[in-house]
Structure 1
Amino acid sequence: MGRFSLPEGGFLELLKRHYSSTHYERSEKQLEREQWLIPGVVRFNRFFLMPAAVIIQVCCGSLYAWSGYNLPMERYILGANNAVDRSVAANVFYVAVAVFGVAAAFLGPWLERNGPWKGAFMGATLFFLGNLLTALGVYVHKFELVFFGYGFVGGAGLGISYISPVSPLQKWFPDLRGVAAGLAVCGFGAGSIFSPYTQRALIGPDFAKTGVQNLGLPLTFVILGSCYYVLMVLAAFVLRMPPPGYTVNGIDIHTVKGAEGLNATATPRADSEATLEVGEGKGVTKTVEVDNRTATVQPVTPAPNPFSLTLAESLASREYIMMYIMFFCAEITGLLIISKIQSIVSNQLKRDTQTAANINSILGGCNLLGRLVIPTLSDVLKTRKPFFILSLAAQTVFLAILPGSIESKNYGLTLACAFIIAFFYGGGFGLIPAFLADQFGSKNVGATHGVILTAWSIGGVCGGLVFSKVYSNTLAYLTSRKAELGDDYLLTVYTIDFRWILAFTILGFCIALFIPTNLRDRRLPKTEGERFRFRAPNGRLVKVVNGNFVMVTQEEEDQEWEKYTQKVLAGNQ
């Protein structure tokens, strides 16, 4: 038996190879089979992907209802304490979020090379096993097993399941990247709408306070985990990548925004909105079907867009790093509020558990709405960055208001702040796949999206642990002054936490302003002495040359760009 050995260069070389390619190779037999949803009965249509993606994401979105497990789980494992949040079970959520991002980042290139069906099936299986292990951990009163089951195994399953439908949708719908991204992830928000009710009904409405249960906490994880698994596996059978050469309106998987039609050689295209091209070596004229329409295409030599980027180039680019930091800042607020909303409604705003579950569901609805509305608007307006700027500005304002609204027991204002933050939080998730596809091409979106989700994970694990530590210290301090402060001693328990998060939304807002999205800004070579460039409010290009601000005329910019594109196109012929 041969021994496994690392390539020369060791682990770093192996990692480099892992992220060096996203090429997906399929046989003619597989390509023929993928033209059918049900062989010989129903032909595949790209719009079938949308409901399948929603189903998978709804199951994954049950993660956002974890806060409904916090108090019942602490009572079941640690004993009764009048349903005061001890901030132990909440850490399972943060671990799951961390592993979620790491799994998505590491398996993103693997997903691109092996196809979405394998990714979705593996993710569903891991998530199912995670739920079963969690049920066992609760049953035997071992938080360690809960952390391993839901946090590590379940989190990994959620990570690969989440990106599995996003990648093919971005490739099948280059003409509707925002809508496709929004539909691909909106189900994640929907999962938090119904999950609190199913959890509460199965566990027992007032178990955290009274100890009276229905089916109980362990069986709840078994039942829901089994349901999620069946739905996710059925939906996984629909997922597939488009065939080689697939284009819509001249846009293929390599095209970045601003480079549409800039190919090194002319490429014959079929008379169809969505067309297929047959690459070199594929034979003679061939008839294919796309969206139930027949298109005849000619053999061509593929001419990749000269402005397309490899995965390694994308991940190492300045704009990707800026987008990574921006996304972290845009998502940390909503993530931490979602993890605590039911506890805040119950303990600070003094509402019953039914009301807390209702609020959690409404928050999930705002999250879902943001995932649909903002990406769709970005398609209509044909721009992405301004929506991230708006999101971070709104979150900054309402996060600044939130602590005061809780302290003053202003129920309506508190919920308004939380709902608006959740809306923009969801909008960021719905928008980021399309933004990444615009910047780096849909070919790389599975991997670039997977890596950028680690920003969300860092917010979940590091931000969550800091949040919990600050909360615990503040809780201990306020508890020691309970006699002095009275029954409302917990009103300020989250104030310090919300203040330090505010610094990140401000940072994200500033970074978002300077992310280059114009292809000319990103690719036009710098002139001698140029150190920095940006766009003035009037759209003119401004260069910082030898310490001086130089505003470039439109004519000068056009001439520079024309000269550069001719050189690039000539080099690719």
Structure 2
Amino acid sequence: MSNQSSSAASGGWLSRQRTVAGPGFNRWIVPPAALCVHLCIGQVYAFSVFNKPLSLLIGGTEQAPADWSIASIGWIFSIAILFLGLAAAFGGAWVERVGPRKTMVTAAALFGGGFVISAFGVWSHQLWLIFLGYGVLGGCGIGLGYISPVKTLMSWFPDRPGMATGMAIMGFGGGAFIASPLSVFLMGQFGVGGAFLALGIIYIVYMLVGATIVRVPAKDWKPAGWTPPKKTNRMVTNANVHVDEALKTPQFWLLWGVLLLNVTAGIGVLGQASLMIQEMFPPITDASGLVTGGITAAAAAGFVGLLSLFNMAGRFFWASTSDFIGRKTTYAIFFALGVVLYALVPTTGNMGSIALFILAYAVIISMYGGGFATIPAYLRDVFGTQYVGAIHGRLLTAWSVAGVLGPVLVNYIREFQISSGVAPADAYTVTMYIMAGLLAVGFVLNLMMSPVSEKHHMQAEPATA
């Protein structure tokens, strides 16, 4: 007992031991702790609101002509997504060892500090500082913050692991819904550099709140009155697979491909949603110039906001649903329904049906978000609970690849189509059919999933620090 107390004391406030919950702790406090982090790092999906203001900066003041091109500024987001995946992959084992509190504090320092460094990049007019600040450091903060609560939540909710991760990852989808208007307001008050500085401070504070209240369950804790159910789904294992051994299994790479294809299809169109709906349904004006139909820029912005809500709601809905119908079935729905909806999008444009177009994309984006929220529970089912956080981190490299592949496919195919004389309204037809094809491949990969061979199971689990 004295050795245990000494260990906790030597580790300090950030140690894993100091986060172990005492008797009577309410597990429903943990999801808000995770949300404190995910609502902050979800800002990455709203970074595009800074693109035009950054392009108008010369020497730290807003002028014209621009000397930072939109193309060069676009690399800020791409670098952040790349380092998100790298940090999650290489930091996963460390996260398992040190626990959620130290990880959340580290994520707050990196993500918030990245904004502060970017503010100095704006004021000194050094784009490389923004690449370093928001891209490299901020991206690492996003990656560590993203995976920090995953295993903790599933440990607190063994009865509903999909719902648990869905609650937290829902926050990542909703982060942009908050960050977009907040960023615009702060830029109006303090300029781009001042907005970066203010956001950095705000996000550090809120992420530290999450780190303060997060707790991990005591060893062998179980919800009151809950007993592990008898195994009825052959895809759910009671064994554990070590993180390094997981990479040697075909199941890991099948799920890597599943996540890659689901995210590639969604993230490509998500980044071009506003432009796409305006080009497929251009505004129609009468002789007096009054808009009588089509989609205006303001309406397109509302469409993007609606997609953000479906992205957020889909993460909770689909992950919770997977607790009842299984992860493999849930992903089968994502891919099968996705193929139909992506193939339907060009038809809605030809029909001139804005309502059908919006409905199709709302469901598509809900499944895009749902894929992120369901994959941790899928990994838990297949590889066990012991190293699920680290395995999840390795799997998120698929997100990094998709973050580049999806936008490249959509943007360059559109550009090629228009340069070949295709009308803008029809420039997305080939892209949508390609995305449908990618989802069909994803359906096959998910269909190939089977339980991990017993030869990969751990015989004796090493004690965690």
Q: Is the 8 A contact 1:256 1:437 kept in 2?
A: no
Kindly state the Cα deviation for residue 52 of structure 1 after the two structures are TM-superposed: 0.9
What residue in structure 1 maps to residue 288 of structure 2?
none
Query: Cα gap change, 1:32/1:69 in structure 2, threshold over 3 Å: closer, same or farther?
Result: closer
Once the two structures are superposed, residues 446-465 of structure 1 have per-residue CA deviations (whole angstroms, 9 ceiling, x without a partner) of 11111111111100024334
Which residues of 2 match residues 208-223 of structure 1 at below 5 A? 214-223=189-198
Residue identity opposite 2:425 in structure 1: L
Which residues of 2 match residues 43-62 of structure 1 at below 5 A? 44-62=25-43
Asked if 1:239 is matched to 2:239, the reply is: no
Asked if 1:70 is matched to 2:14, the reply is: no
Relative to its length, the structure with more helix (as a share) is 2
2:7 to 17, 27, 52: 27
Kindly state the Cα deviation for residue 80 of structure 1 after the two structures are TM-superposed: 6.2
What residue in structure 1 maps to residue 342 of structure 2?
399
Deviates more, 1:102-111 or 1:146-155: 146-155
Secondary structure of the residue aligned to 2:240 is coil
What residue in structure 2 maps to residue 295 of structure 1?
none
Q: Distance in 2 between matches of 1:46 and 1:339?
A: 36
Which residues of 2 match residues 277-356 of structure 1 at below 5 A? 307-345=239-277, 349-350=281-282, 351-356=295-300
Query: Cα gap change, 1:107/1:399 in structure 2, threshold over 3 Å: closer, same or farther?
Result: same
Asked if 1:501 is matched to 2:435, the reply is: yes
What residue in structure 1 maps to residue 181 of structure 2?
197
What residue in structure 2 maps to residue 364 of structure 1?
308
Q: Distance in 1 between matches of 2:143 and 2:352?
A: 37
Query: Cα gap change, 1:369/1:325 in structure 2, threshold over 3 Å: closer, same or farther?
Result: same
Kindly state the Cα deviation for residue 374 of structure 1 after the two structures are TM-superposed: 1.1
Residue identity opposite 1:341 in structure 2: A
What residue in structure 1 maps to residue 446 of structure 2?
512
Query: Cα gap change, 1:314/1:32 in structure 2, threshold over 3 Å: closer, same or farther?
Result: closer
Kindly state the Cα deviation for residue 224 of structure 1 after the two structures are TM-superposed: 2.0
Kindly state the Cα deviation for residue 111 of structure 1 after the two structures are TM-superposed: 0.3
Q: Distance in 1 between matches of 2:323 and 2:342?
A: 28
Which residues of 2 match residues 218-229 of structure 1 at below 5 A? 218-229=193-204
Residue identity opposite 2:394 in structure 1: V
Once the two structures are superposed, residues 262-289 of structure 1 have per-residue CA deviations (whole angstroms, 9 ceiling, x without a partner) of 9xxxxxxxxxxxxxxxxxxxxxxxxxxx
What residue in structure 2 maps to residue 289 of structure 1?
none
Q: Is the 8 A contact 1:333 1:421 kept in 2?
A: no
Query: Cα gap change, 1:335/1:116 in structure 2, threshold over 3 Å: closer, same or farther?
Result: same
Once the two structures are superposed, residues 7-39 of structure 1 have per-residue CA deviations (whole angstroms, 9 ceiling, x without a partner) of xxxxxxxxxxxxxxxxxx9936578744568xx
Secondary structure of the residue aligned to 2:43 is helix
Q: Distance in 2 between matches of 1:467 and 1:81?
A: 28
Q: Distance in 2 between matches of 1:495 and 1:514?
A: 30
Kindly state the Cα deviation for residue 407 of structure 1 after the two structures are TM-superposed: 6.5
Query: Cα gap change, 1:405/1:32 in structure 2, threshold over 3 Å: closer, same or farther?
Result: closer
Q: Distance in 2 between matches of 1:177 and 1:314?
A: 20
Q: Distance in 2 between matches of 1:427 and 1:224?
A: 27
What residue in structure 2 maps to residue 461 of structure 1?
404
Which residues of 2 match residues 369-384 of structure 1 at below 5 A? 369-381=313-325, 383-384=326-327
Q: Distance in 2 between matches of 1:256 and 1:236?
A: 36
Residue identity opposite 2:327 in structure 1: R
Q: Distance in 2 between matches of 1:149 and 1:409?
A: 44
Query: Cα gap change, 1:377/1:259 in structure 2, threshold over 3 Å: closer, same or farther?
Result: closer
Q: Is the 8 A contact 1:196 1:361 kept in 2?
A: no
Q: Distance in 2 between matches of 1:313 and 1:407?
A: 50
Once the two structures are superposed, residues 220-247 of structure 1 have per-residue CA deviations (whole angstroms, 9 ceiling, x without a partner) of 2222222111101111122233333334
Q: Is the 8 A contact 1:310 1:444 kept in 2?
A: yes
Once the two structures are superposed, residues 107-166 of structure 1 have per-residue CA deviations (whole angstroms, 9 ceiling, x without a partner) of 000100111111111111111122123333344444433333222221111000011011
Residue identity opposite 1:231 in structure 2: Y
Q: Distance in 2 between matches of 1:225 and 1:454?
A: 26
Higher relative contact order (CA 8 A, sep 6+): 2
- Equivalenced residue count is 428
Q: Distance in 1 between matches of 2:241 and 2:256?
A: 17
What residue in structure 2 maps to residue 156 of structure 1?
140
Greater C-alpha radius of gyration: 1
Residue identity opposite 2:158 in structure 1: P
What residue in structure 1 maps to residue 390 of structure 2?
447
Percent identity among equivalent residues?
30
Alignment RMSD (CA, Å) = 3.4
Deviates more, 1:100-109 or 1:341-350: 341-350
Q: Distance in 1 between matches of 2:355 and 2:57?
A: 32
TM-score w.r.t. structure 2 length?
Answer: 0.81
Q: Is the 8 A contact 1:257 1:438 kept in 2?
A: no
Query: Cα gap change, 1:192/1:403 in structure 2, threshold over 3 Å: closer, same or farther?
Result: farther
Q: Is the 8 A contact 1:64 1:338 kept in 2?
A: no
2:110 to 122, 126, 145: 126
Which residues of 2 match residues 77-226 of structure 1 at below 5 A? 87-204=71-188, 214-226=189-201
Q: Distance in 1 between matches of 2:96 and 2:6?
A: 12
Q: Distance in 2 between matches of 1:438 and 1:394?
A: 23
Secondary structure of the residue aligned to 1:27 is helix
1:230 to 205, 218, 237: 205
Once the two structures are superposed, residues 496-540 of structure 1 have per-residue CA deviations (whole angstroms, 9 ceiling, x without a partner) of 4434333321110111112114xxxx4479xxxxxxxxxxxxxxx
What residue in structure 1 maps to residue 463 of structure 2?
none
Q: Is the 8 A contact 2:117 2:130 kept in 1?
A: yes
Q: Is the 8 A contact 2:111 2:140 kept in 1?
A: yes
Q: Is the 8 A contact 2:21 2:217 kept in 1?
A: no
Secondary structure of the residue aligned to 1:240 is coil
Residue identity opposite 1:191 in structure 2: G
Query: Cα gap change, 1:326/1:230 in structure 2, threshold over 3 Å: closer, same or farther?
Result: same
Kindly state the Cα deviation for residue 343 of structure 1 after the two structures are TM-superposed: 3.6
Q: Distance in 2 between matches of 1:397 and 1:79?
A: 47
